[in-house]
Amino acid sequence: MPELPEVEYIRRMLRSAMEGARILRVLARRPNLRYAFHPDFVSRLDGQQVLAVTRRAKYLLIDLASGDTLLMHLGMSGWFRVLRRAPGRKGPASEEFEKHDHVVFEMSNGKVVVFSDPRRFGFMTLHAPGELETHTAVSKLGVEPLARGFDARALAAELGRRKTSLKVALLDQRVIAGLGNIYVSEALHRARLSPRRRASTLVTKSGDPRPAVHDLVNAIQDVLKKAIKNQYRTGSDDPFVVYDKEGQRCPRRGCTGTIKRIVQGGRSTFYCSICQR
């Protein structure tokens, strides 16, 4: 499943292709993705100018001149690609589309944005002004890990109330929006923190963050920024230090540990039991 860096990479690609342009035509090449398209899905998009392409956690949001917002999620296998319409043609030739190309946006700037999703767990839904504020998918999300408001004190305020393990707490979208399984494992290793550790132990009785929380905030932001910068797409490269490295020697210089795999909250955790405390 695409995680926050992959979604942010796509957001930047879509912003370049769509922001400021009008949607000349939308092709919905099937009646549904995870959910059925609303009957007026295409008509509400056709002719609309794209004002902004933003991200909230792992959701992509396209703000339209009409006031509507297109909410999109990649699901397990969703991805976008951008084509360029040939001069004099209304759209790309049908042979340019592949079997799993389900939604096509033809833009006024000559770009053609194609959404592909072999497993069809992704979705696209349109929302009128004000609807997203109470939408179940986004209304209870926590702070963005790359936002200015994400610091040690903000994280401590959440961890201090958690009786779960640190790994499970960090995967809770009410704590940090969009942080996923892979990058939690990577950040915990970078911060030298055990995923088994009780989350609340990182906070003092008075609610102040211990030094480890500062290290964790820096580690989370570092691994996410590195992934975005290098345009990592899960599965196409192997940029990870500990994720899926069970049985291999810990990569930290001077550490004699071996990467172990455990299951927490139904998800695989990879860590070094020697240097992560």
Enumerate the domain spans of the chain: 4-134, 152-272
The CATH class, in words, for 152-272 is mainly alpha
What is each CA distance from 111 to 114, 180, 188, 251, in whole angstroms? Answer: 10, 31, 40, 43
Which pLDDT band, with edges at 50, 70 and 90, does 89 fall under? low
When pLDDT is cut at 50, 70 and 90, the band that residue 88 belongs to is: low
Residue 2 known to be catalytic: yes
Catalytic residue (one of 3, 6, 8, 106):
3
Among the listed residues 55, 58, 162, 190, the single catalytic one is 58
Distance of CA 96 to the CA centre of its chain: 28
21-30, 75-84, 130-139, 233-242: segment of lowest average pLDDT: 233-242
What separation in angstroms does the CA of 117 have from each of 104, 123, 159, 229?
12, 10, 36, 24
The torsion angles phi and psi of 192, rounded to 5 degrees, stand at 60, 35
Superfamily classification of domain 4-134 = MutM-like, N-terminal (3.20.190.10)
- Give the pTM: 0.90
pLDDT at 1 over 90: no
Alpha carbon 176 to its chain's center: 12
Burial 173-186 (b: 16+ CB within 10 A, else e): bebbbbbbbbbbbb
Active site residue 267: yes
Tokens for 187, please give them.
């950040």
Active site residue 133: no
Q: How far apart are CA 194 and CA 187, in angstroms?
A: 11
In tens, the pLDDT along 148-164 reads: 999 999 999 999 999 99
Annotated catalytic residue within 2, 5, 145, 195: 2
Q: Cβ(132)–Cβ(138) under 8 Å?
A: yes
DSSP state of 97: S
In the set 34, 56, 252, 267, the catalytic residue is 267
Q: Catalytic residue at 145?
A: no
Handedness of CA 241, 243, 247, 252 (dihedral sign): positive
Q: Given this model, what pLDDT does residue 116 score?
A: 96
**pLDDT digit string (tens) for 177-195?**
999 999 999 999 999 999 9
- Return the bridge partners of 198, or none: 165
